[in-house]
Amino acid sequence: MARKVLRFILQLLFKLLTHTEVIGLENVPEKGACILAVNHMSRLDPPLVYILIKREDLTGLAADKYKKYPLFRWIINTANGIWINREQADFRALREARQHLANGGMLGIAPEGTRSRVGSLLKAKTGAAYLASKANVSILPAAISGTEDAVQKILHLRRPHIRVEFGKPFSLSLINRQDREAALQRNTDEIMCRIAAMLPPKYRGVYSNHDRLKELLRSDLKPAQLV
pLDDT of residue 90: 83
CB of 50 closer than 8 Å to CB of 7: yes
**Residue 166 and residue 23: Cα distance in Å, rounded?**
6
CB of 37 closer than 8 Å to CB of 121: no
pLDDT of residue 224 exceeding 60, the answer is: no
pLDDT of residue 177: 77
**Residue 31 and residue 206: Cα distance in Å, rounded?**
33
Please write the tens of the pLDDT for every residue from 124-155: 999 999 999 999 999 999 999 999 999 999 99
pLDDT of residue 174: 82
pLDDT of residue 162 exceeding 70, the answer is: yes
**Residue 186 and residue 173: Cα distance in Å, rounded?**
9
Architecture of domain 2-225: 3-Layer(aba) Sandwich (3.40)
Please write the tens of the pLDDT for every residue from 165-197: 999 999 998 887 788 899 999 999 999 999 999
| pLDDT (average), residues 94-100 | 94
pLDDT of residue 227: 41
**Cα–Cα distance list, 154 to 41, 62, 161 (Å):** 16, 24, 11
Please write the tens of the pLDDT for every residue from 9-64: 999 999 999 999 999 999 999 999 999 999 999 999 999 999 999 999 999 999 88
Query: What pTM was estimated for this model as a whole?
Result: 0.91
pLDDT of residue 24: 97
pLDDT of residue 220: 54
